[in-house]
Every structure is written in structure tokens, then in C-alpha cells.
Amino acid sequence: MSNLRLPQSALGLTFQTGASILDYEIQEERGYALGVAGRKVEVALQALRDFDAGGGEGERAELLKAAAKAVWHYFIQREACGVRNQRPAIEHYGIPREVLARLGAS
């Protein structure tokens, strides 16, 4: 007796179910949200750096709070994408210890 199997990747055909399409769209949305959160981190950290360099406006405590909030949201989004190690992001964005301390990091 022979078994019949549906063609798979050998013929270059892939079958997408509603669940796989939805999963793809969810992953796409997570990636987009991660990019938006990353840009917010860049803006908040730049405002803090500008202030420290003497060219910024506003109160430093508020800028520090905003930077910590942006980094916190970014870290949460990374975790939602399955990325648990935050060290590469800390190094990439040059997140100051002062900001990390506000998050409870040691």
C-alpha cells in the first residue's frame, strides 16, 4: 500500500492557513512597533544629550524621565518579540546608566 502525501517544499508550494497568515501579520506588527519604540528611544536620548551638552531646552529631570519611559517601552516591546537579552540594545543606543537605574537595572 502506498501513502499519498501533499506536495511540500520540493515543488516550491507552500500552504498557508488562516492561522499562519495571522501569525505572520502579528509578527509584522510587532516588528513595526519595535521600530517605532526604537525611534522614540533615539529621540528621548538625543534630547537628554543635547541638554547635557548645553544646547537643550527644558528641565533635565523631565528629560530623564521621558528617556527612561521610552527605554522601558522599548524593552517591553523587545520582550514581546521574544528578545530577552537587553544588553545589545543598551550598547547600540548608548543608554546611560542613569536611565537604566530609573528602570531598576543594576
Which of 52, 48, 77 lies closest to 65, judged by CA? 48
Q: What pLDDT was estimated at residue 22?
A: 86
- Give domain status of residue 62, yes or no: yes
Length of the chain: 106
Domain that holds residue 81: 32-102
* Residue pair 63/56 in contact by the 8 Å Cβ criterion: yes
How far the first Cα of the chain sits from its last, in Å, is 65
39 within domain boundaries: yes
pLDDT band at 8 (very low <50, low <70, confident <90, very high): low
- Residues 52-98 have pLDDT tens digits of 998 767 799 999 999 999 999 999 999 988 999 999 999 999 999 99
**What is the reported pTM?**
0.77
- Report yes or no on 96 lying in a domain: yes
All three cell numbers of 23, joined, read: 501569525
> Please, which residues have CB within 8 angstroms of residue 82's CB and are 6 or more apart in sequence?
none
Place of cell 537595572: 105
Query: If residue 38 lies in a helix (H) or strand (E), which one and from where to where?
Result: helix 18-52
Domain count of the fold of the chain: 1
9: in domain: no
* 8 A C-beta contact, residue 37 and residue 74: yes
